[in-house]
C-alpha cells in the first residue's frame, strides 16, 4: 500500500527516546523511519527522502551538526534539532547552519508535535504560509499588509519605523521558526558589527512596546533568550 | 590585573608602616633619649606588615631594613653602621630572628585559614552530594515503581487509576528535571576557575522569558510585573539569572502559605539593577532566614523530607549564581506580612563578552 503520509526520519541513539518519538509521531499520523547514528541517518535520508528530520545533536559516530551540514548541501528538508541544555551554543550554530527549529530536552509530546506540524507546513507553502491573496500575513489579530508595508493589530494600525517593519516582515515570513540574532541582523542590515545585537534588541523592545506586549504573557513574538526570536503561527 | 594591584597595595602598606615606625622611633630617640622602646616598636611594625601583606617577601624585607636601620640610627654609635661592639651584633641577630619568626608564623596562620576554607567547601560539597542523592531517590522510586506496576498489571487497573499513576510519573520526572537543572548550574559555578560568561541581555526579554517558563509550571498564581520603561541592558549569563528568578518565584509558590499576591519589580540605582520579588504569604521563620541561602549545604541528610527541601537547593543555587555575578542576594520578612527576596546585579562590567 502506498501511503501519502508525511515521512519523518528520527535520528537518535538513545533507544528509549527513539521508540517514544516513533510511537508519538505514528499516533499523530506520520510515517516514521529511524536511525541510530549519523552515518545510517545519511543512508536512510538518501534512500527514503523524508519530509522532515528530527535530529539529536549528540550522536555516537559524528556530531549531529555534520549530518546537518551534509544534507544542507543539496536539500531544504526541514530539520528539527533535539538538544540538551548543555548544548546551548550548538543550538545557535545549528540554527545558523540551516536547522529549522530546536526543542530542548525534556520536552512534552504536545510541544514536539506542534513543532513538527509547523515545520512541515512552513516547508510545504514556504514563504506563502499565512499570506492571503494580495500579500497579507494574518495571525490571531495581527495583520501585515506586505504591499502597503502596514501592520495592524485587531484592526488598529501600528506605526512602525522602516527597520521595525522590516524585522516584523522578516519574522512573519519565517513564522513558526526561530530566527537567530545573527540571521536577522544579516537580513536587515546586511553586515554585523559589535553593536548590532544591541541595535536589534532595542528595535525589538520598541516593537514590543508598540504592540502592547506584556512580559510573561502570550505575545506575537516569542523571544528565545540568548538565541533569537520566533513569530507565533496562527492558532499556535 | 588584580595581582599587580595587590602587589602595589602590599608595597604601599609595607612602606607606610615602616615610615610610621621610624617616625615613632625618631620621636622617642630625640625626645626621651632612651632607646629601650625602639626594638619593640620595630618588631610590632614587622608583625603588622606580615599580618597585612601576602606571603613572606614583604615581612622579610621589612625585617632586614629594620635591623639595618636600628643598627644605623638607634644604637651606639648613632648614624653609622657598626658591628664592632658585640652587643650590637647580638641585638641585631635577636631582632632579625624575632622578626623572621613572626612573619613566618603569621604567614603560616594565613595559609591554614585558606586550607580551612577549602576543607569547609569540600565538606559542603559532600553534604550537597548526600542531600541530592537522597532527594533524587524519592521521585525515582515513584517513577520506577509506578511504571513497573503499570507494565506488570496493566489490565487490572481502571482507566482512571492508570491516568493517576501516569500523572504521578510525569510530575515526579518534571521535578527531577528541575533538580538536575539546578545541579548543572551548581557544577558550572563550583569549579572555581570557571567564570560566568556575561552577555548583554535586554531586561524585558529576560523577564518575559522567565515568566513564560514560570507560568507554564504554575499557571494559577499570576505575577504582577513592574519594570522600568527605559531600555536596560545588563551583562549576565541570562540562562542562570533566568533560573534565579524562576527559583525564587517557585519558592514563593511552594512555601508562602496564604499568598494571594506575588510581584516582581526591577529598578536601577546608579549602576546597579535591583530585582525584588515580593509575596504576601506567611513569611519565613526567623530561625531559618539566616540560613535560607546556605541551608541546603549544611543539612543533615537523614533528617528531612525531600519535597520541602527542593526549595533549599533552589535558593542555594540562586545564592551561588548571584555571587558568581558579583551581586548580592537577601531575604527579608515584611512588616505587612510576607517576605521579599532582593538581588542586585551590576550594570557595567569591563569583562563581559560582546556577542
Instruction: Kindly state the percentage of chain A with pLDDT values over 70.
Output: 91
Task: Give the minimum alpha-carbon distance from B338 to chain A in angstroms, rounded to a whole number.
Answer: 23
Residue B80: CB partners within 8 Å, gap ≥ 6?
B72
Residue-level pLDDT at A54: 93
Instruction: Kindly state the percentage of chain A with pLDDT values over 90.
Output: 16
Q: How far apart are CA A133 and CA B16, in angstroms?
A: 83
**Strand-pair partners of A230:** A178, A222
- Element containing residue A85 per DSSP (H, E): none
Residue-level pLDDT at B264: 93
Report which listed range, A104-108, A129-133, A176-180, B210-214, is most confident.
B210-214
Across the interface, do B215 and A204 touch by the CB < 8 Å criterion?
no
Which of B108, B17, B29, B135 has its CA nearest to residue B65? Answer: B17
Best residue of A225, A232, A236 to probe chain B, by most B CBs closer than 10 Å: A225
pLDDT digits (tens, 9 = 90+) for A54-109: 998 878 888 888 888 888 888 888 899 887 765 567 778 888 888 888 888 888 88
Question: ipTM for the complex?
Answer: 0.79
Across the interface, do A197 and B211 touch by the CB < 8 Å criterion?
no
Across the interface, do B204 and A205 touch by the CB < 8 Å criterion?
yes
Across the interface, do A205 and B214 touch by the CB < 8 Å criterion?
no
Residues of A in contact with B209 (CB under 8 A): 223-225
Residues of A in contact with B241 (CB under 8 A): none
Topology (CATH level 3) of domain A129-231: Arc Repressor Mutant, subunit A (1.10.10)
Residue with cell 528538508: A77
Residue-level pLDDT at A131: 47
Across the interface, do A216 and B223 touch by the CB < 8 Å criterion?
yes
Average pLDDT over residues A111-118: 87
Residues of B in contact with A86 (CB under 8 A): 184
Residues of B in contact with A184 (CB under 8 A): none
Across the interface, do B202 and A224 touch by the CB < 8 Å criterion?
no
Contact between residue A188 and residue A167 where contact means Cβ atoms under 8 Å apart: yes
Residues of B in contact with A225 (CB under 8 A): 201, 205-206, 209, 238-239, 242
Contact between residue A231 and residue A221 where contact means Cβ atoms under 8 Å apart: yes
Residues of B in contact with A85 (CB under 8 A): 181, 184, 239
Residues of B in contact with A215 (CB under 8 A): 204, 207-208, 211, 225, 227
Dihedral sign computed on CA atoms, order B47, B49, B54, B60: negative
Best residue of A83, A192, A215 to probe chain B, by most B CBs closer than 10 Å: A215
How much is the mean pLDDT over chain A?
A: 83
Q: How far apart are CA B212 and CA A230, in angstroms?
A: 14
Contact between residue B275 and residue B345 where contact means Cβ atoms under 8 Å apart: yes
pLDDT digits (tens, 9 = 90+) for B12-31: 888 888 888 888 888 887 77
CA distances (Å), A50 to each of A7, A79, A97, B64, B165, in order? 5, 10, 19, 82, 36
Q: Which of A215, A217, A225 sits opposite B238 (nearest CB)?
A: A225
What is the domain partition of chain A in residue ranges? 7-127, 129-231
- Taking CA–CA distances from A218, the nearest residue in chain B reads B212
Task: Give the minimum alpha-carbon distance from B206 to chain A in angstroms, rounded to a whole number.
Answer: 7
Give yes or no for residue A114 having a pLDDT over 90: no
Q: How far apart are CA B188 and CA B195, in angstroms?
A: 9
Residue-level pLDDT at A2: 53
Residue-level pLDDT at A3: 62
Q: What is the CATH number of domain A7-127?
A: 3.40.50.2300
Q: Which of B199, B225, B238 sits opposite A215 (nearest CB)?
A: B225
Residues of A in contact with B202 (CB under 8 A): 201-202, 204-205
Per residue, the 3-state secondary structure of chain B, as one string, reads CHHHHHHHHHHHHHHHHHHHHHHHHHHHHHHHCCCCCHHHHHHHHHHHHHHHCCCCHHHHHHHHHHHHHHHHHHCCCCCCCCCCCHHHHHHHHHHHHHHHHHHHHHHHHHHHHHHHHHHHHHHHHHHHHHHHHHHHHHHHHHHHHHHHHHHHCHHHCCHHHHHHHHHHHHHHHHHHHHHHHHHHHHHHHHCCCCCCCCEEEEHHHHHHHHHHHHHHHCCCCCCEEECCCCCCEEEECHHHHHHHHHHHHHHHHHHCCCCCCEEEEEEEECCEEEEEEEECCCCCCHHHHCCCCCHHHHCCHHHCCHHHHHHHHHHHHHHHHHHHCCCEEEEEECCCCCEEEEEEEECCCCCCECC
Best residue of B231, B237, B262 to probe chain A, by most A CBs closer than 10 Å: B231
pLDDT by residue for chain B (355 residues), tens digit each?
A: 556 787 888 888 888 888 888 888 888 877 776 667 777 787 788 778 877 877 777 777 887 787 777 777 776 667 767 666 777 777 778 777 877 787 778 778 888 888 887 887 777 777 777 777 777 887 888 899 899 988 888 888 888 889 988 988 988 888 888 888 878 777 777 655 556 788 888 898 999 989 988 888 888 888 999 988 888 889 988 888 998 999 899 888 888 888 888 999 999 988 899 999 999 888 888 877 877 887 655 444 444 444 444 556 788 888 888 888 888 899 988 888 889 999 999 887 544 444 3
Residue A133 C-alpha cell reads as: 491573496
Amino acid at each position: 500500500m502506498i501511503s501519502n503520509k508525511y515521512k519523518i526520519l528520527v535520528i537518535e541513539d538513545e533507544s528509549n527516546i527513539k521508540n517514544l518519538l516513533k510511537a508519538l509521531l505514528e499516533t499523530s499520523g506520520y510515517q516514521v523511519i529511524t536511525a541510530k547514528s549519523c552515518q545510517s541517518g545519511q543512508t536512510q535520508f538518501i534512500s527514503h527522502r523524508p519530509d522532515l528530520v528530527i535530529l539529536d545533536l549528540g550522536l555516537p559516530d559524528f556530531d549531529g551538526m555534520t549530518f546537518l551540514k551534509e544534507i544542507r548541501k543539496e536539500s531544504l528538508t526541514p530539520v528539527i534539532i533535539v538538544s540538551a541544555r548543555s548544548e546551548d551554543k550548538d543550538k545557535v550554530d545549528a540554527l545558523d547552519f540551516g536547522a529549522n527549529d530546536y526543542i530542548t530536552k525534556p520536552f512534552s509530546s504536545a510541544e514536539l508535535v506542534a513543532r513538527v506540524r509547523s515545520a512541515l507546513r512552513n516547508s510545504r507553502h514556504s514563504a506563502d504560509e499565512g499570506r492571503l491573496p494580495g500579500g497579507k500575513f494574518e495571525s490571531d489579530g495581527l495583520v501585515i499588509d506586505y504591499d502597503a508595508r502596514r501592520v495592524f493589530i485587531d484592526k488598529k494600525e501600528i506605526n512602525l519605523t522602516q527597520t521595525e517593519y522590516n524585522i516584523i516582515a522578516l519574522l512573519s515570513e519565517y513564522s513558526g521558526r526561530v530566527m537567530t540574532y545573527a540571521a536577522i541582523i544579516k537580513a536587515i542590515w546586511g553586515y554585523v558589527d559589535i553593536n548590532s545585537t544591541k541595535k536589534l534588541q532595542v528595535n525589538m523592545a520598541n516593537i514590543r512596546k508598540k504592540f502592547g506586549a506584556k512580559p510573561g504573557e502570550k505575545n506575537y513574538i516569542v523571544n528565545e533568550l540568548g538565541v533569537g526570536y520566533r513569530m507565533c503561527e496562527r492558532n499556535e | 590585573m588584580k595581582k599587580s594591584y595587590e602587589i602595589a597595595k602590599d608595597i604601599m602598606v609595607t612602606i607606610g608602616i615602616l615610615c610610621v615606625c621610624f617616625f615613632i622611633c625618631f620621636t622617642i630617640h630625640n625626645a626621651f633619649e632612651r632607646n629601650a622602646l625602639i626594638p619593640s616598636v620595630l618588631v610590632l611594625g614587622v608583625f603588622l606588615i606580615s599580618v597585612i601583606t601576602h606571603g613572606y617577601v614583604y615581612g622579610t624585607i621589612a625585617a632586614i631594613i629594620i635591623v639595618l636601620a636600628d643598627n644605623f640610627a638607634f644604637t651606639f654609635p648613632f648614624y653609622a653602621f657598626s658591628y664592632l661592639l658585640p652587643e650590637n651584633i647580638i641585638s641585631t641577630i635577636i631582632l632579625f630572628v624575632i622578626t623572621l619568626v613572626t612573619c613566618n608564623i603569621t604567614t603560616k596562620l594565613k595559609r591554614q585559614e585558606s586550607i580551612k576554607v577549602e576543607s569547609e567547601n569540600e565538606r559542603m560539597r559532600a553534604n550537597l552530594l548526600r542531600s541530592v542523592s537522597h532527594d533524587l531517590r524519592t521521585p525515582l522510586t515513584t517513577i520506577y515503581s509506578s511504571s513497573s506496576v503499570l507494565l506488570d498489571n496493566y489490565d487490572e487497573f481502571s482507566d482512571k487509576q492508570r491516568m493517576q499513576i501516569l500523572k504521578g510519573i510525569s510530575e515526579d520526572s518534571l521535578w527531577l528535571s528541575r533538580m538536575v537543572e539546578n545541579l548543572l548550574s551548581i557544577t558550572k559555578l563550583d569549579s572555581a576557575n570557571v567564570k560566568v560568561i556575561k552577555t548583554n541581555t535586554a531586561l524585558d526579554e529576560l523577564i518575559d522569558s522567565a515568566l513564560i517558563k514560570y507560568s507554564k509550571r504554575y499557571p494559577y498564581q499570576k505575577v504582577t510585573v513592574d519594570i522600568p520603561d527605559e531600555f536596560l541592558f545588563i551583562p549576565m549569563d541570562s540562562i542562570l539569572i533566568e533560573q534565579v528568578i524562576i527559583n525564587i518565584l517557585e519558592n514563593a509558590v511552594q512555601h508562602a502559605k496564604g499568598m494571594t499576591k506575588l510581584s516582581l519589580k526591577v529598578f536601577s540605582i546608579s549602576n546597579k539593577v535591583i530585582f525584588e520579588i515580593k509575596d504576601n504569604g506567611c513569611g519565613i521563620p526567623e530561625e531559618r532566614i539566616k540560613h535560607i541561602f546556605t541551608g541546603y549545604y549544611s543539612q543533615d541528610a537523614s533528617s528531612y523530607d525531600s519535597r520541602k527541601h527542593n526549595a533549599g537547593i533552589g535558593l542555594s543555587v540562586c545564592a551561588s549564581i548571584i555571587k558568581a555575578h558579583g551581586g548580592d542576594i537577601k531575604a527579608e520578612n515584611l512588616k505587612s506580612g510576607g517576605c521579599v527576596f532582593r538581588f542586585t546585579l551590576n550594570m557595567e562590567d569591563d569583562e563581559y563578552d560582546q556577542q
